[in-house]
Amino acid sequence: MKLSLILPAYNEEENIKKGTLDKVFSYFKNKDFSWEIIVVDDGSDDQTKNLIEDKYLKVNNKLRLIEKPHQGKAISVIEGIKKAEGDIIAFSDFDLATPITEMNKLLSFIDKYDIVIGSRNNIRKGAPLIRKIMAKGFILIRDLFINLGGIRDTQCGFKIFKKKAAMRIVENLKVFKVGKMIDGPSVSAGFDLEFLYLAKKMGYQIKEVPVLWHYAETRRVNFLKDSIETLIDILKIKFNEVLGKYV
């Protein structure tokens, strides 16, 4: 097989300096399968692009850098899926809150399942109390409006899927069908919901696997803004469902 790992990046200068990409390359270098790393730069306005080009791109032919206007994490992942060459696609948050070595757990199930997702089992180690409370509230609202067949953790930024399934799903997205320019960071939480909702509706087999996760302090999360954005996305998904717009 060939695995494509997508790393959506928006102003990741500090994480690059901390060695997140070094950890990724160290993990993959001795694997007995083909692989590529795709960094999708979501219009960063810091040194993300320059650091990747100067330190990594010139010396590693398994790294690809895709540049795009700032449209949020969801559109970055979709762009990476469309450009990936692997028959298996993975994506991870750039901060590696879930250590890249946890990929072994997900890969052990990909032969039997179409999609394998990391799960924190509702444990948010080190996360502030307000984030834990909001996570519980999100789950209640999500389950009220969208039936995901018992999937517990939709939002862990650590997933792998077969490319054929991923391509069919992204081609049928409605809420995240077209990207638009935005200001500031966007976690695009609704993307995971729509992706997994469609996967279930299309009959794909999904496996949820417990993984390690460590809270990483970030300025990209705005609890109020992100909560409102996610609620709107949930309502849009439900609206499309009621109107029968999904396949």
pLDDT, mean of residues 217-228: 70
Residue 136 falls inside a structural domain = yes
pLDDT, mean of residues 101-128: 87
**Backbone region of residue 101 per phi and psi (left: phi > 0; alpha: psi in -120 to 50; beta: other values):** alpha
Residue 98 falls inside a structural domain = yes
The C-alpha atoms of residue 38 and residue 80 are separated, in whole angstroms, by: 7
- What is the CATH number for 201? 3.90.550.10
Expressed as residue numbers, the domain containing 117 is: 2-242
| Gyration radius of the chain's alpha carbons | 17
- Quickly count: other Cβ atoms within 10 Å of residue 136's Cβ: 12
How many structural domains does the chain have? Answer: 1
Please tell me the pTM assigned to this model: 0.91
By percentage, how much of the chain surpasses pLDDT 90? 74
- Quickly count: other Cβ atoms within 10 Å of residue 155's Cβ: 18
Determine contact, residues 238/146, Cβ cutoff 8 Å. yes
Using the predicted structure, report yes or no on whether residue 124 has a pLDDT greater than 60.
Answer: no
Higher pLDDT, 112 or 188: 112
Over the chain, what is the mean pLDDT?
91
pLDDT value for 122: 55
pLDDT value for 220: 60
- Residue-wise pLDDT for 2-34, tens only, equals 999 999 999 999 999 999 999 999 999 989 999
Using the predicted structure, report yes or no on whether residue 135 has a pLDDT greater than 90.
Answer: no
Using the predicted structure, report yes or no on whether residue 158 has a pLDDT greater than 80.
Answer: yes
pLDDT value for 219: 56
pLDDT, mean of residues 106-127: 85
When pLDDT is cut at 50, 70 and 90, the band that residue 157 belongs to is very high
pLDDT value for 189: 84
Class of residue 109 by CB neighbours under 10 A (exposed 0-12, middle 13-18, buried 19+) = middle
pLDDT value for 98: 96
pLDDT value for 130: 67
pLDDT, mean of residues 96-123: 93
The C-alpha atoms of residue 19 and residue 21 are separated, in whole angstroms, by: 5
Residue 226 falls inside a structural domain = yes
Residue 73 falls inside a structural domain = yes
pLDDT, mean of residues 145-167: 94
Comparing 50-54, 107-111, 178-182, 219-223, which segment has the lowest mean pLDDT? Answer: 219-223
pLDDT, mean of residues 36-40: 98
Residue 247 falls inside a structural domain = no
